[in-house]
Structure 1
Amino acid sequence: MIPSVTRLLPFVGLAASLAAAQNIVDTGYAKYRGNQSFPDTVAYLGVPYAEPPVGDLRFRAPLPLNTSRVTAESAGKIIDLTENPEFCVQGSTGAGDAGGAGSEDCLKLNIYAPAGAKKGDNLPVLVYIHGGGYVYGNPANWPYDHWIHQSPNVVIASVYYRLNSIGFLTAPEMLTNPSLGDLNAGFKDQSMALEWVSEHIDAFGGDPNKVTIDGQSAGAASIELHLVANEKPRFHGAILQSIYRTPLPQVEQQRDMFNYYSTQAGCGSGSVEKKMACLRSADISALSRAQDLVMYNFTGHYHSFHPVIDKKLFIDYPTVSLEKGHLADVPVMAGSCANETLSSGTNITAALKFYFPALTQQDLEEFLPEYPLSDFNSAAQQFQVATGESDVICGRKIVGRAAAKKNKAFTYRYNQPVNGAAATTHSSENWMMFLGTSTGFNGSTTFQPQTDADRAFAAELIAYWLSFVRAADPSAHKLARSPAWPPYTAASPMRIVLNEPADKSTTVSGVTTELEPELEGKRCAFVQTKALHQQA
């Protein structure tokens, strides 16, 4: 007997109610509705983790989220978080564009969780910190819905943090007069996000005692800084993808840039106190123009705003801290792309001096014998390796060796070019892992089509990454077709090589393993000796 429609209606209503409950989370101070992007996946887009850093809070360390305020403002209503929030104010990519898009009220998280995940599920957590040179970047360009869909047994949070001058303005007087503002505010945003995760991720089904931090490029540099920072670690594992070995200037080395920036923003007169008061009240468009002018026209050694050595959070340069064993005792996974460099041109020493202004003439003269043309196929490859190892690539070995002395370490060489490109350049793995993302100006991206082989390879990568998140071992939950990922040790510096199979098979892996080349290890040991003058 077929039941009547009238008799089915209560059950239809119950089913709809249950489905709706799968994408609503109660943090205890507010209820959030997320976007159910797959039947098993919910994305909560723009969860606040700190007070809006606006008005008098501009250029200051973030304040913890006032949950009582959020409760009062929501008035018991469910807060809709089904669309990406405004990203943080962007700087220029350096490709002739102007920055300025975005908002200062941006201290938020995109949280991706299995549908219906709840407190007590105790799922491992991945916290992602995006790249972009500390100058630009929008977490919406690296979505994680498909990661949860592939492996609905983790929770992922992607961090929005202040960038460029808004996040990293440095006046030397801040060292002794914190009322002026706070050094490294953008980095402190990341720390505040981790603190929020520790306190509240359990509402989304996450386990605050099983948090892995991950970042690419400047995001990986941020992870390196979290490993060595003079603060309580709020994470239990770390992934570093193409570590941006940018100099961390001493605060006094930023004085000329601060003065130039202040002048361009219309705040160039008077004491530092007056300049900071002016900058704090200036229109954001004036600050955006000023930070772009720093990148394009400032003639001093440093032309963008980055973390600095403040002798509080960062006592030493990261490489020096790692050499001394001053790093968090957690398992680490680190790697780089096969052919990457962040330098341009053809003159090796000129490029190194531009990237690392504190290198001396003697330092530069010592580099060239380490990279003789006879070791390479061409002058172009010589330039790429000689600059790329200092810029990015040697971070893999430097972090891997330091981590292996304390805990487990795994390293990789990513070797799959993007979309038929001739070489595997910086950020190539992002294109593969995030649906063909190809980032552009002012927080934009284009998602390019991927082949079946690309999607199959991406699934291997995601499985390795989330296996590390779940078990501190990329092999524990790898795909069946993927080879085991060997640990990296000083005695046996093995690494995995990540690439698609040559025949573009979707059922057979193209991933292999290799021993770190002795010559590369020797060159990176040399690079490590230059840490003080590279300020990296």
Structure 2
Amino acid sequence: MTVVHTRSGAVRGIAYDGVRAWRGIPYAQPPVGVLRWAAPHREVAWDGIRDGSRFGNRAPQQPSQGLGFGVSLDTDDEAPFEEDCLYLNVCAPEDAAEGARMPVQVWIHGGGYTVGSGAQFIGDGAAVARRGIVVVTFNYRLGALGLLNLGGLLGPAEASAANNTLRDQIAALAWVRENIAGFGGDPGNVTVQGVSAGGKSVVNLMAAPAAKGLFHRAITHSGGDHVATPDATTSLARRLTDLLDPPGGDLTRLRDVPAKDVLAAQLALADGIQATWIWRPTVDGGLLPQRPTRALAAGHAAGIPLVIGSTGNEAGLYHLMDPTAADHTATIRHEIFGTGAEQAAATYAALHPDSTPEDTDRMFMSDERYRASTLRLADAQAHHAPVWHYLFTGPFPGLPEEFWMFHGSDIPYAWGLYEDSAEPAVAVLCHGVQDAWTAFRRHAVPQSDHLPAWPEYDPVSRATMILDTAPHIAFDGACPQYKVLWADRDWTPGTWWPLP
């Protein structure tokens, strides 16, 4: 079954190493010309059989500066960066048959909404597919081309522009619902999973009424509640459009500006690691009615089981890639705790007496950006569905120990990239994560013979699976400062680096 018929035409995939893969399938029309900054339109049907052997174009972006996983995979590194980027990929077990009704995993890539692609680092997701899962990855619009709040400048006719990244994700999920049975997947058992901006996207989808019914389980790695107000995104849109030169200075002709110039203006505002939190979805009262934490607390994702977690040294990656990140700790602490900022620093020192001030500052920044936000989301959803929380503290093979537990370092384990590691403890941990995630996709409960029994999370005990070479259960979210400082604190994460 290498030829599959989709709603818009037939596509021929490839077979290798126990899987079949179909790449570069359009799930919407190219968002170019008059469709730039428009909501995604259904893809145009094609005649004949489409070649599905190559990955589709990646969204325009600055090449990623992130750390790789040190694993050689057939990824989309050669795919061009083009505005025509709304493509997805499907990977299924080699023996999958149409109508087989296998669980489906839809992966949402990370990259701060500014870089990345569905296949980056993970290829087709073959290790997961070989476990009897149909894997879907996809590209979506990034940065200003996906999140520019033109509605704040030009009025309701351009309202969709602020959240087209989220609309693209919903369109991809709608394609899955209509087509995945032809690849052997079960449209009634879809898990959405993502890391970083992809993890944030998962909870945004949980909060978005338009995504209701398109998925049934959720896994989020190092995500959080990172959205923005209309005023904030309108201000950002004004700063960006001031750098552009539409014909006659007419903002209604922004679609005539080349995509490379839009990207150049975006990078002039912020590039590299400093750009990772500039662009974000807008709480617009429509597609995204309210912040995800509040939506989950109100039961908007009731009945959606959730696995959610983060890593032990989230901020370490940012401090490595831009040492000035550490310079902003005092400012961020004061923005959140005001006159209690010094007491907050003292609390970290008291709870972690063996750590240096630099260590506790890094803990604070990790909590502010990921861990505390993750626990607040877990608290909110646990009132309405089963939740399991984890903290990843395992090795990052091939890198010195000071790089372990960095942001995203659990992803190779989630994709089975270390199942054949020469280090037995790493291989066992990878199998444990793979088992647990596979069980969750199948039966909505994560479990593995390589892990201890994993209790459900609740806002009192906050049971947490510590994913390490000696996995165990901890309580209080494995974060004693959370209960003391963060549980009742309401803040909107901004950027660490101010815009120029």
Fold shared by both chains (TM-score > 0.5): yes
Alignment of 1:24-103 (within 5 A): 24-27=3-6, 29-38=8-17, 40-66=18-44, 69-70=45-46, 74=47, 77-91=48-62, 102-103=81-82
Residue from 462, 477, 480 that aligns with 1:493: 462
Alignment of 1:468-487 (within 5 A): 468-475=440-447, 478=448, 480-487=449-456
Contact (CA 8 Å) 2:8, 2:43: kept in 1 or not?
A: no
Q: Residue in 2 aligned with 1:14?
A: none
Deviation, structure 1 residue 137: 0.5
Deviation, structure 1 residue 240: 0.8
Q: Are 2:490 and 1:531 aligned?
A: yes
Contact (CA 8 Å) 1:373, 1:379: kept in 2 or not?
A: no
- Offset from partner CA, 1:152-186 (integer Å, 9 cap, x none): x2211112110011111113536842247532001
Residue from 193, 197, 207 that aligns with 1:214: 193
Contact (CA 8 Å) 2:57, 2:80: kept in 1 or not?
A: no
CA 1:523–1:33: 2 relative to 1, 3 Å: same
Contact (CA 8 Å) 2:151, 2:157: kept in 1 or not?
A: no
Which amino acid in 1 is paired with 2:37?
F
Which amino acid in 2 is paired with 1:203?
G
Q: Are 2:230 and 1:251 aligned?
A: yes
Deviation, structure 1 residue 49: 1.0
Q: Residue in 1 aligned with 2:473?
A: 513
- Offset from partner CA, 1:312-356 (integer Å, 9 cap, x none): 122222223333344342111001101212562155222457xxx
Residue from 387, 402, 408 that aligns with 1:409: 387
Contact (CA 8 Å) 1:139, 1:159: kept in 2 or not?
A: yes
Q: Residue in 1 aligned with 2:352?
A: 375
Residue from 341, 345, 349 that aligns with 2:330: 349
Deviation, structure 1 residue 530: 3.6
Q: Are 2:256 and 1:281 aligned?
A: yes
Q: Residue in 2 aligned with 1:186?
A: 165
Cα RMSD after superposing both structures: 3.0
Q: Residue in 1 aligned with 2:210?
A: 231
Q: Residue in 2 aligned with 1:134?
A: 113
TM-score w.r.t. length of structure 1: 0.79
- Offset from partner CA, 1:14-40 (integer Å, 9 cap, x none): xxxxxxxx32222254221112121x3
- Offset from partner CA, 1:409-436 (integer Å, 9 cap, x none): 1111111131242241101112444576
Contact (CA 8 Å) 2:31, 2:84: kept in 1 or not?
A: yes
CA 1:49–1:322: 2 relative to 1, 3 Å: same
Q: Are 2:274 and 1:315 aligned?
A: no
1:491 and 1:303 map into 2 onto residues whose CA distance is: 31
Contact (CA 8 Å) 1:56, 1:280: kept in 2 or not?
A: yes
Deviation, structure 1 residue 489: 2.1
Identity %: 24
Contact (CA 8 Å) 1:92, 1:292: kept in 2 or not?
A: no
SS at match of 1:394: helix
2:156 and 2:380 map into 1 onto residues whose CA distance is: 35
Alignment of 1:128-167 (within 5 A): 128-141=107-120, 142-148=122-128, 150-151=130-131, 153-167=132-146
Residue from 465, 487, 507 that aligns with 2:437: 465
Which amino acid in 2 is paired with 1:35?
I
1:294 and 1:92 map into 2 onto residues whose CA distance is: 16
- Offset from partner CA, 1:295-315 (integer Å, 9 cap, x none): 159x9x997221111111222
2:381 and 2:160 map into 1 onto residues whose CA distance is: 34
CA 1:56–1:363: 2 relative to 1, 3 Å: farther
Q: Residue in 2 aligned with 1:440?
A: none
- Offset from partner CA, 1:228-273 (integer Å, 9 cap, x none): 1232411111101111443x22222233432332232323964xxx
CA 1:115–1:26: 2 relative to 1, 3 Å: farther
Rg (Cα) greater in structure: 1
CA 1:386–1:269: 2 relative to 1, 3 Å: farther
Q: Are 2:410 and 1:429 aligned?
A: yes
2:193 and 2:138 map into 1 onto residues whose CA distance is: 11
CA 1:147–1:282: 2 relative to 1, 3 Å: same
Which amino acid in 2 is paired with 1:84?
F
SS at match of 2:240: helix
1:455 and 1:55 map into 2 onto residues whose CA distance is: 48
Contact (CA 8 Å) 1:172, 1:252: kept in 2 or not?
A: no
Deviation, structure 1 residue 374: 6.0
2:147 and 2:114 map into 1 onto residues whose CA distance is: 9
1:371 and 1:427 map into 2 onto residues whose CA distance is: 24
1:150 and 1:116 map into 2 onto residues whose CA distance is: 10
SS at match of 1:231: helix
CA 1:374–1:194: 2 relative to 1, 3 Å: closer
Contact (CA 8 Å) 2:207, 2:291: kept in 1 or not?
A: no
Q: Which runs of 5+ in 2 are unaligned?
A: 67-78, 320-324, 496-500
SS at match of 2:359: helix
CA 1:194–1:410: 2 relative to 1, 3 Å: same
2:384 and 2:170 map into 1 onto residues whose CA distance is: 23
2:248 and 2:454 map into 1 onto residues whose CA distance is: 58
Q: Residue in 1 aligned with 2:267?
A: 292
TM-score w.r.t. length of structure 2: 0.85
